[in-house]
Chains A and B, each alone.
Chain A
Amino acid sequence: MTSSELRNLKKQKEEAVDDDDGISQLSDALLIQILSLLPIDEAFTICILSKRWQYLWTLVDNFYFTCANYSDIKSYTGERLDDEEDSCRDYHQINPFATLSKNSICNFELLDLAKGDDMDLLSLVPSFVFPNLKNVKIVISPE
């Protein structure tokens, strides 16, 4: 088929598929593959989109986090706030990373970790037990 024939066909068909509605046709597996390419904190914000999306992000296979400073990641893995525990129990989201499916994670990357925080990293280890981890990359920023 020549390219001009292709172009004609394309024109004819363009309208027919225009009313297809975007990503709702994509499978959960495909959405998870896309979410896996986002930094983990961005993947997490996806939970706000709708109930279908609430737990999709917890099945990502990459844990990417760029910490401008260590306090960022601490705020995600930090302690539950007692007074809010009851009101938020349904969402498990005071410590959102606790809801991650630990078995799914294959790649773990912490970028731009500030110097000096690397020691504190040890205290994070209990939060990050990923049985199927294959690659780990931790980059400490020079200054």
Chain B
Amino acid sequence: MASTTETKQKKMLILKSADNDEFEIEESVGVQSETIKNLVEDGFTFVPLPNVYTKALIKIIDYLKKHANKTDSNDEEIKTFDKDFVNTTFDDLFELVSAANYLHISCLMNMLCQTIADRIKDKSPEAVRKIFHINCDYTPEEEAKIRKANAQAFEGQFDESLD
């Protein structure tokens, strides 16, 4: 545990979200993000993040704090944290993956992309459309043509659930 004097000496950063909320975090926590690290190396202590909304930023700060304190002994704890972290709605995952991409936090990016891929695997095209909020702009004839030409790819059992 850090003593009070050490805590006082810790370098702090202020992150400002797209919706203008400010968060103070330790520099050592923030620099896990390549984007923040580059700014810190250029001497910035105030970091505006115009592409990251507060809701995602709060979760990402939680993630960074947890992962900054990674040791051999809390490996299991972090695994549980990560599992919990990605156990959310698709819309939240999309928001988080956008933010993680902008912040260049590669371990978080990998985890989020893998989670999204795992969760859309085996889903029917109709379910994936709903999940991704896609408006199908094929005419019914065009869609039928693609399906017919690739019948083997669209055969079999699909998962219709949206979670």
Complex Cα gap A84–B113 (Å): 37
Task: Tell me if A20 counts as interface (CB < 8 A to partner B).
Answer: yes
Task: Tell me if B21 counts as interface (CB < 8 A to partner A).
Answer: yes
Please tell me if the beta carbons of A49 and B24 are within 8 angstroms of each other in the complex: no
Q: How many residues of A contact B (CB 8 A)?
A: 46
**Please, which residues of chain A bring their CB within 8 A of the CB of B58?**
6, 9-10
Please tell me if the beta carbons of A23 and B94 are within 8 angstroms of each other in the complex: yes
Complex Cα gap A13–B53 (Å): 9
Residue of A nearest to B135 (CB): A50
For chains A and B in complex, what number of residue pairs have CB atoms within 8 angstroms?
A: 120
Residue of A nearest to B62 (CB): A6
Complex Cα gap A88–B90 (Å): 34
Task: Tell me if B19 counts as interface (CB < 8 A to partner A).
Answer: yes
Task: Tell me if B82 counts as interface (CB < 8 A to partner A).
Answer: no
A1-54 with Cβ < 8 A to chain B: 1, 6, 9-10, 13-14, 16-17, 20-27, 30, 33-35, 37-39, 41-42, 44-53
Task: Tell me if B44 counts as interface (CB < 8 A to partner A).
Answer: no
Contact with A along B142-163 (1 / 0, CB 8 A): 0101110110111000000000
Contact of B150 among A16, A42, A53, A96 (CB under 8 A): A96
Task: Tell me if A103 counts as interface (CB < 8 A to partner B).
Answer: no
Quote the shortest CB–CB distance from B12 to chain A (angstroms).
Answer: 11
Complex Cα gap A118–B21 (Å): 58
Quote the shortest CB–CB distance from A67 to chain B (angstroms).
Answer: 12
Could you list 8 A-B pairs, sorted by A, with CB under 8 Å? A10-B58, A23-B132, A37-B114, A45-B125, A50-B129, A72-B152, A76-B152, A94-B150
Interface residues, chain B, CB within 8 Å of chain A?
19, 21, 23-24, 53-55, 58, 61-62, 90-91, 94-95, 97-98, 101, 109, 113-114, 116-118, 120-122, 125, 128-129, 131-138, 143, 145-147, 149-150, 152-154
Task: List 19 additional A-B contacts (Cβ < 8 Å) besides A44-B150, A93-B150.
Answer: A1-B24, A17-B19, A22-B91, A26-B94, A30-B98, A33-B113, A37-B113, A37-B114, A37-B117, A38-B121, A41-B153, A45-B125, A48-B147, A50-B134, A53-B134, A88-B149, A91-B146, A93-B149, A96-B153
